Amino acid sequence: MMADPEHLSAEQREFIESMGVFFEYFGLPRIIGRLMGLLMLADHPLTLDDMAGALLVSRASVSTNIRIALHHGYAVRVGIPGDRRDYYRFSDDVWEKRSQVTLEASNVSRAMAERGLAALGPDDVSARAHLEEMRDYCDFSIEEANTMLARWRERKRAARAARATRATRATQRPAHADDTVPDAGASDESVAIERDSD
């Protein structure tokens, strides 16, 4: 996908806008969601000017909001040899970082629960119950988050390996069906089976 606006299809623009609405719903600027939608579709890193042109917004707006995206781990800044400009692409670890944010929040919440428990007297039965339940929930969340992260990393590794295998097979196939000429004695059925097995 080219970053130039005229190369974005209506469906791609609709996806980009829906990402903006999604991010805005969760309290982030809509432009950050639009930037992430664009970077997800892009097949190469983009400059600030590329993104501004594709989204029809100012370069200053892109510059401000891409910094927020970098801070949250949604995007990464990369360099291209021989080019002094900064380029940006969608982060390979964005979903893992999302889980790590949840894990970090649970750790902080647990520490707060412990602090609250330390401040209680022996007769604060109700408050102790509330804070112990908060701590227990945090322990549960931390355990689940660590388990989910491990499972996600394995799933991601397997999915990337499968995509790499498919890409390798695709490059090994003939460019056109006419490039493969079956034996004169081969039946139409055997040719069809051979093609389906690729």
| Range 34-50 average pLDDT | 94
What's 114's DSSP letter? H
> Counting Cβ atoms within 10 Å, is residue 71 exposed (0-12), middle (13-18) or buried (19+)?
exposed
Q: What is the percent of the chain with per-residue pLDDT over 90, rounded to a whole number?
A: 63
pTM metric for this prediction: 0.69
pLDDT single digits (tens) 143-163: 999 999 999 999 999 998 998
Q: Looking at residue 94, what is its pLDDT?
A: 87
Q: Looking at residue 95, what is its pLDDT?
A: 86
Q: Are 86 and 77 in contact (CB under 8 A)?
A: yes
Looking at domain 5-91, its CATH class is mainly alpha
Q: Looking at residue 167, what is its pLDDT?
A: 86
Select from 72, 71, 80, 135 the least CA-distant residue to 109.
Answer: 135
> Is 192 or 125 the better-scoring residue by pLDDT?
125
| Range 65-79 average pLDDT | 93
| Range 15-21 average pLDDT | 96
What's 8's DSSP letter? S
Position 196 pLDDT exceeds 50 = no
Number of Cβ atoms within 10 Å of the Cβ of 25: 10
Phi-psi label, residue 78: left if phi above 0, alpha if psi -120 to 50, beta otherwise? beta
Q: Are 5 and 53 in contact (CB under 8 A)?
A: yes
